[in-house]
């Protein structure tokens, strides 16, 4: 049996180290779609970013955004689903020891904001013209009630782990997408919880889903899917949870995995 839904992460998975989707990855995903398989992107990125990559691949489908906080078809005027972090919880987060020393990103379903405290690492991120630089939570105005995901970033790994431990005392989901960042969503919100909503919308069972990822924010999705696939460059915990390991994200790992699925060499 081949999957009815293939879900791919972006960074470290479908994108190579230069942030580019290879032609091989694009062709394999289009081939799967042509065979009637639903293709979805699941990412910590915003809807606009995920939609642009879906359009680049040439597929018309759904995207799971902000680490599972949102589910939306790329042609829809509004989300199928969007979760929020309570404003008082956001305030508690910002008072955790160390948070006032790192870059803090705030995402709603429509807007993105950042408080910059470490300019060098901020400048190392790809430029985002839609990102609004602010000085404090007060500058969010009414959008403090519309936040779906926060991200904290610093070059100080010890400080980041200190923040991680502090955040985990709150009712939140906290994951490392990489060694420089922490991503935070509301309690119970993950790529897996969003996939359950999407699968229900599409009439697809959990066992009919194949998911491909590399980072801690993919872990629950890898565990949830009927077949979880880890990249060669994936974090050890993701590899341990996966049924199959594909090649590196710089070696067209998504294309390799999709081909194995379509040819039945990796059974569901």
Are residues 160 and 198 both part of a single domain? no
Task: Assess whether pLDDT exceeds 80 at residue 95.
Answer: yes
Task: Assess whether pLDDT exceeds 90 at residue 126.
Answer: no
Mean pLDDT value of segment 11-23 = 97
Contacts of 169 (CB under 8 A, 6+ apart): none
Give the 3-state secondary structure of residue 157: helix
CA–CA dist 3, 262 (Å, integer)? 8
CATH of the domain at 162: 3.30.1240.10
Task: Assess whether pLDDT exceeds 90 at residue 31.
Answer: yes
Asked whether residue 56 is domain-assigned, the answer is yes
Nearest residue to 258 via CA among 12, 10, 93, 14: 14
CA–CA dist 24, 7 (Å, integer)? 17
Contact 253, 19 (CB under 8 A): no
Are residues 218 and 230 both part of a single domain? yes
165, 186, 207: which is the final residue of a domain? 186
Stated as kind and residue range, the H or E segment containing 113 is: strand 112-115
Asked whether residue 145 is domain-assigned, the answer is yes
Mean pLDDT of the chain: 96
pLDDT of residue 176: 93
Mean pLDDT value of segment 185-210 = 98
Asked whether residue 268 is domain-assigned, the answer is no
Among the listed ranges 40-49, 116-125, 212-221, which one has the minimum average pLDDT value? 116-125
Phi-psi region of 141 (alpha: psi -120 to 50; beta: other; left: phi over 0): left
pLDDT of residue 239: 98
Are residues 96 and 163 both part of a single domain? yes
67: domain range? 5-81+189-263
Asked whether residue 238 is domain-assigned, the answer is yes
Asked whether residue 143 is domain-assigned, the answer is yes
pLDDT digits (tens, 9 = 90+) for 70-84: 999 999 999 999 999
132, 151, 186: which is the final residue of a domain? 186
pLDDT of residue 195: 98
Q: Which two tokens stand for residue 110?
A: 């429509």
pLDDT of residue 128: 78
The alpha carbon dihedral of 231, 26, 123, 47 has a sign of negative
Distance of alpha carbon 82 from the chain centroid: 14
Pairing of strands 38-42, 5-8: parallel
What pLDDT band is residue 127 in, cutting at 50, 70 and 90? confident
Other beta carbons less than 10 A from residue 209's beta carbon: 26
Contact 15, 254 (CB under 8 A): no
pLDDT digits (tens, 9 = 90+) for 130-162: 899 999 999 999 999 999 999 999 999 999 999
Contact 217, 175 (CB under 8 A): yes
Give the 3-state secondary structure of residue 108: coil
Predicted TM-score (pTM) of the model is 0.94
CATH of the domain at 213: 3.40.50.1000
Asked whether residue 60 is domain-assigned, the answer is yes
- DSSP string for residues in 76-102: -SS-SEE----HHHHHHHHTSTTGGGS
């Amino acid at each position: 049996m081949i999957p009815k839904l293939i879900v791919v992460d972006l960074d470290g998975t479908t994108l190579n180290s230069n942030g580019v989707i290879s032609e091989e990855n694009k062709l394999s995903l289009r081939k799967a779609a042509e065979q009637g398989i639903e293709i979805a992107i699941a990412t910590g990125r915003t809807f606009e970013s995920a939609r642009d990559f879906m359009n680049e691949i040439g597929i018309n489908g759904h995207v799971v955004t902000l680490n599972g906080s949102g589910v939306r078809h790329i042609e829809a005027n509004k989300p199928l689903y969007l979760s929020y972090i309570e404003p008082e919880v956001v305030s508690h987060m910002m008072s955790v020891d160390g948070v006032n020393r790192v870059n803090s990103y705030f995402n709603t379903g429509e807007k993105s904001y950042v408080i910059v405290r470490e300019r060098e690492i901020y400048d190392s991120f790809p430029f985002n013209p839609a990102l609004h630089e602010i000085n404090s939570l007060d500058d969010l105005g009414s959008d403090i009630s519309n936040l779906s995901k926060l991200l904290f970033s610093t070059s100080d790994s010890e400080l980041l782990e200190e923040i991680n431990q502090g955040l985990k005392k709150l009712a939140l989901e906290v994951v490392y997408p990489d060694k420089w960042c922490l991503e935070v969503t509301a309690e119970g919100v993950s790529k897996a919880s969003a996939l359950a909503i999407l699968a229900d919308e599409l009439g697809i069972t959990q066992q009919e889903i194949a998911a491909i990822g590399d980072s801690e924010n993919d872990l629950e999705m890898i565990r949830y899917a009927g077949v979880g696939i880890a990249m060669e460059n994936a974090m050890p915990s993701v590899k341990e949870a996966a049924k199959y390991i594909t090649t590196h994200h710089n070696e067209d790992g998504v294309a390799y995995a999709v081909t194995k699925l379509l040819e039945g060499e990796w059974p569901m």
